[in-house]
Amino acid sequence: MERDDPEAGPAGQRVLSGGLGRLISVLAVFLSVSHMFLAIFPWLAETERNIFHFAGFSILAAVLFPMIRTDGWKAGRTAIAVDVAIGLLTAGAAIYLAFAEDWIYERGVRLSAFDWVACIVVILGAIELTRRSAGMVIPILIILALTYVTFWGSWISGVFGFPGLSTETVLFRSIYGDDALFGTIARISSTYVFLFIIFGAFLIQSGAGEFVIDLARTVAGKLTGGPGLVAVVASGLTGTISGSAIANTASTGVITIPLMKRAGYHPKFAAGVEAASSTGGQLMPPIMGAGAFVMASFTQISYDKIVVAAALPALLYFLSVAFFVRIEARRLNLKPLPSEGRTLGDALKDGGASFIIPVGVLIWLLVSGFTPSYAAVIGIVTVIASSWLTKRPMGIRGIISALESGARNMVTSAILLCSVGLVVNVIATAGVGNTFSLMIADWSGGSLLLAIILIGLASLVLGMGLPVTAAYIVLATLSAPALAGMISDLTVIDSIASGTLPEASKPLLMLANPDAMTMLAGPVPREEAAALVASLPLEIAGPLRDSVVSREAALAGLLSAHMIVFWLSQDSNVTPPVCLAAFTAAAIAKSPPMATGITSWKLAKGLYIVPVLFAYTPLLSGDWSQALLVFGFAVFGIYGLAAGMQGCMERRLNPVLRVVALVAGLACLWPFAIMVQVVGAAVVLALFLQNLKFGPDLAVTA
């Protein structure tokens, strides 16, 4: 007998027993095994593999996410039958389209009646299954996008007007386009994302999650603020496994939040620390959720370069949360955790092999040039082998459980990433991305900081109804080109201000602004150079940028733009009014959800500070000497800001010193004058030493 119980399954999934439950388990295991096989032996063409990926997960999504939630066995059974039919119909139509492509081209790209039906069924199925598994935002965007390019785009005048395409053309491009339902993003889903989610499922099944908590407690538990630091370390490491801030919060929070509450932290602060730390797990190399793979595909920058560049920023983020944790512990005069007799050696002996060896092998393979798909499969095999060196060896039952869990955890991401291709395809077809990028540049008035703020607001709105990966994809498609151009313009501005603009580039400026000759004669104030560049029309700004900015600098600007969008896409996890990671943590801590959201937003300030460093500093330039210099000043700056916001360092700060700490922290982050940064760091250090020696005594406060 099948049982429809929406509340009992993970992430709202229906729980099934009986024959259908066993069939779904078999299908889930088959999807995991077949994708691993195709990663090593790619005997299917890319489009065929993507269609197979979508078809398999369509059945899972239709059955596991009910269309209508009902009570009672009879009604539930009817609903299940309808859902199974929808899943099979959508999957069957998709598989037919895998074979129909050649026939369509043979007819001169004309659709037969059966092709029309299959295309419509697949698109409607994608919309409905996305609605069930991920909410209404993407389905609404898909409907708006498809209808825009077919008819109502022609009603709009101005830059967003679109003459319209025939319905047949839109259907064909929606299925077979490079950016469409079975295009680039579906490829990322069917390879990198799914394989690394399986890898994470195997790590969890092997006991790696428990090892991470154990490791964090032995390393950080004995320090001041130890329970909070345990949450920071554990969530950062677990984030490389789970790929989801909410799952990360739920898995580690049940241990770390009660630990922090027992140590004396306020419930909302304990929950905020866990939510902020778990959000940072998506920024943590080597996996970084799905974002690193999508970013590599968008930018054509290799995955290994992206994760290497992301290492220092991720460390900076976790340090920012750790500063808040330690300062709060000092403010409340909390003591370190009592020793439980566990040592680092005990943690490594009991479960270290199942985490350290697979992750080490994975990193080595990626750095050695193997594809992420191949590395993930070898990593999965390594997890199984290394688990036999621990107290929790994986047998056949554990392997099957991990394979099934990996596929179940992938259902929402698979449907969502395929379906969002319908939106991205329209953006590319209609040129909306370029238009939107021009509008960002126009609205910001050439100000890079204002452009970042606008993108941050857009990411927050999108993130209220989308997982962060989907929010990143949509935002990157719309805004990253403009942001990359504005970052590259900083090099042009510096060249004009310093009087080092190449001679070959000067005629372009003269063509746009004949009065610029006096500015090109020698060094000019940077503000004047910035105003000149901001006034240039696009047809001049683009070629000028290309002639001044080196290829390496342009790539660094492109990476910075995408990293800014990716980081800002995480903010919906911790920023009210809809902050699901914070709400998840609040449920565990039994703290007020909105107050917890505000606390997590404050603790996650690194999400907003570090993207500004991406834009204005060489943090992602690939020059490690410059990146480390930026990193060092940023450490002082973020500590100063945290101290000023919390009113404490090692001891309490009076109101005047709080202001001094805030100003000095901002000075450390000032990107345009090294002496300002040096003075800021010196003031933060002097303030710390003064506070350490002469600050007022602390008293335990509630």
Per-residue pLDDT of 467-497, as tens digits, reads: 777 788 888 888 888 899 889 988 888 888 8
Q: How many domains does the chain have?
A: 3
Domain finish residue from 573, 588, 617: 573
Q: pLDDT digit string (tens) for 406-419? A: 999 899 889 988 99
Q: What pLDDT is recorded for position 179?
A: 86
Higher pLDDT among residues 351 and 38, named by residue: 38
- Domain carrying residue 296: 207-401
Residue 653 resides in a domain: no
pLDDT score for 261: 87
Looking at the structure, tell me whether residues 168 and 227 fall in a common domain. Answer: no
Residue 643 lies in a domain: no
Residue 563 lies in a domain: yes
405-427 burial: b if 16+ Cβ within 10 Å, else e: bbbbbbbbbbbbbbbbbbbbbbb
Question: 158 with 225, same domain?
Answer: no
Res. 297 pLDDT band, cuts 50 70 90: confident
Q: Tell whether 66 is covered by a domain.
A: yes
Distance from C-alpha of 407 to C-alpha of 200, rounded to nearest angstrom:
11
Residues 198 and 36 sit within 8 Å (Cβ to Cβ):
yes
Confidence of residue 10 (pLDDT cuts 50, 70, 90): low
pLDDT at res. 208? 83
Q: Which residues pair with 652 in a beta bridge?
A: 648
The reply to whether 307 and 261 lie within a common domain is yes
Angle at 639 between CA 634 and CA 645, to 5 degrees: 125
Residue with tokens 């999957």: 91
Q: Is residue 585, in this structure, part of any structural domain at all?
A: no
What type of residue sits at position 19?
A: G
- Alpha carbon distance 664, 670 (integer Å): 10
* Domain co-membership, 150 together with 258: no
Kindly indicate the confidence band of residue 518, based on its pLDDT and cuts at 50, 70 and 90. Answer: low
The distance of Cα 387 from the centroid of its chain, to the nearest Å, equals 29
Q: Can you give the length of the chain in residues?
A: 702
Running DSSP on this structure, what letter comes out for residue 613? Answer: H
**pTM, two decimal places:** 0.83
What whole-number distance in Å separates Cα of residue 67 and Cα of residue 129?
Answer: 9
**Domain ends where: 544, 573, 602?**
573
C-alpha distances in angstroms, 536 versus 488, 518, 540? 14, 16, 6
Q: What pLDDT, in 10s, does the model give residues 312-324?
A: 999 999 999 999 9
- Give the model's pLDDT for residue 259: 81
DSSP summary character for residue 182? T
- Mean pLDDT of the region 5-33: 77
- For residue range 133-142, list pLDDT tens digits in order: 888 888 998 9
Same domain, 213 and 158: no
What is the predicted pLDDT for the residue at 74?
45
| Count of CB atoms situated within 10 Å of the CB of 435 | 16
Are 346 and 212 found together in one domain? yes
Q: Based on the fold, state whether residues 42 and 120 are members of the same structural domain.
A: yes
Which tens digits make up the pLDDT trace of 624-673?
999 999 999 999 999 999 999 999 998 889 999 999 999 999 999 998 88
The percent of residues in the chain predicted with pLDDT above 70, rounded, is 92
- The strand pairing partners of 648, in sequence order, are 652
Give the domain-ending residue among 401, 423, 455: 401
Any idea what DSSP says for residue 648? B
Q: Are 18 and 1 in contact (CB under 8 A)?
A: yes
**Separation between Cα atoms, residue 277 and residue 208, nearest integer Å:** 18
Residues 372 and 261 in one domain: yes
Of 112-121, 507-516, 544-553, where does mean pLDDT reach its minimum? 507-516
| Residue 15: inside a domain | yes
